[in-house]
Amino acid sequence: MAKSARELLIPILFLAEGVFWLAIVATGGAILLILAALAFIASGLLLIQMPDSWATKPLAGASALFGLTLTVYQVYQAATLFGSSLSTIGLTSGAISGVFAIVCVYLELATLSMGSEASAAKKV
């Protein structure tokens, strides 16, 4: 059974977040950020392969919340560069991290609404 593009949007966003954290590590970020990358990639793959599994929704929700925490911290760190000679780097880093923070908020809200969509369909 082929999935629609709408059904694949959330898993693709999880995978994109995972690639984002891998890129941060590859460019000299903390090696512990591999945990964020693995959490996002595992969530994206589970949402594609086993969306009804008992572990998928909690892992996806926790990954999104973890990513939101990390990206908000990245925005905070980038903001410390404003007003210095590195303000353009801070602005670029802050903007990129801000976009990924918004994606994490969307993923968290989408994860929270996963169970309510299925129960609403059963009631009808």
Q: What percent of the chain is predicted at pLDDT more than 70? A: 90
Tokens of 73: 């911290």
Q: Residue type at 36?
A: A
Domain positions in the chain? 5-119
Q: Helix %, strand %, coil % for the chain, to 5? A: 80, 0, 20
Q: Name the 3-class secondary structure at 67.
A: helix
pTM: 0.85
pLDDT in tens, 17-63: 999 999 999 999 899 999 999 999 999 999 999 988 899 999 999 99
At 4 the pLDDT is 72
Q: What is the mean pLDDT of residues 73-99?
A: 93
At 65 the pLDDT is 96
- Measured at the CA of 14, the angle between CA 10 and CA 19, to 5 degrees, comes to 145
At 5 the pLDDT is 73
Q: CB of 18 within 8 A of CB of 67?
A: no
